[in-house]
């Protein structure tokens, strides 16, 4: 076997292993997030009606781009066993437009920690976002597979010359 063919196979194997490692790590992160959410859902059992008081900007720092950006998030106010709670919900762009300040929504709170809650309406929106993310992930995997195929085909065509 000559050196060129060894390099061709090595490149294809490297790309395939990188795609597999990337896919497994993304799958691991998604599963860990799902387990965390499932545990929180199991704890949040008490239903309360909360009012959207206002919206606040929640800042996030992106290390790769070295920039800070902010998103809008609802601030809920509700009472649980006499304790008044005011907490910030999750950021969700299109959902926010449908719930102006003063709107009442149902929350599920953790009886042991009333400030820990789940908003079923936010979760529904989150599931849609998750489905979009899965579609993007599958598309990315398909592009990697296509890249491997095209790389292999290109290298094979070079070896014919």
Q: pLDDT tens for residues 122-151? A: 766 666 667 777 778 888 888 888 887 887
> What's the pLDDT tens digit per position in 100-124?
888 898 999 999 999 999 888 776 6
**Two structure tokens written together for 108:** 């599920």
For the stretch 62-77, pLDDT in tens is: 777 788 877 888 899 9
Q: What is the pTM of this model?
A: 0.59
pLDDT digits (tens, 9 = 90+) for 74-98: 899 999 999 999 998 876 656 666 7
CB-count burial class (<10 Å; 0-12, 13-18, 19+) for 7: exposed
What is the average per-residue pLDDT within 2-22? 75
Measured at the alpha carbon of residue 77, what is the angle toward residues 90 and 102, in degrees to the nearest 5?
A: 90
Evaluate whether 17 touches 150 at the Cβ level (below 8 Å).
Answer: no
């Amino acid at each position: 076997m000559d050196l060129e063919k060894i390099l061709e196979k090595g490149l294809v194997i490297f790309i395939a292993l990188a795609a597999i490692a990337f896919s497994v790590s993304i799958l691991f992160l998604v599963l860990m997030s799902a387990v965390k959410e499932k545990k929180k859902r199991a704890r949040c059992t008490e239903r309360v009606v909360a009012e959207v008081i206002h919206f606040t900007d929640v800042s996030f720092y992106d290390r790769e781009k070295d920039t800070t950006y902010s998103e809008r998030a609802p601030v809920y106010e509700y009472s649980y066993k006499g304790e008044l709670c005011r907490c910030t919900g999750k950021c969700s762009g299109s959902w926010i437009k449908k719930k102006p300040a003063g709107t009442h929504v149902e929350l599920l709170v953790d009886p042991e920690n009333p400030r820990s809650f789940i908003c079923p309406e936010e979760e529904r929106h989150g599931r849609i976002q998750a489905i979009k993310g899965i579609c993007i992930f599958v598309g990315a995997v398909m592009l990697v597979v296509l890249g491997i195929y095209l790389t292999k085909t290109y290298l094979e065509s070079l070896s014919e010359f």
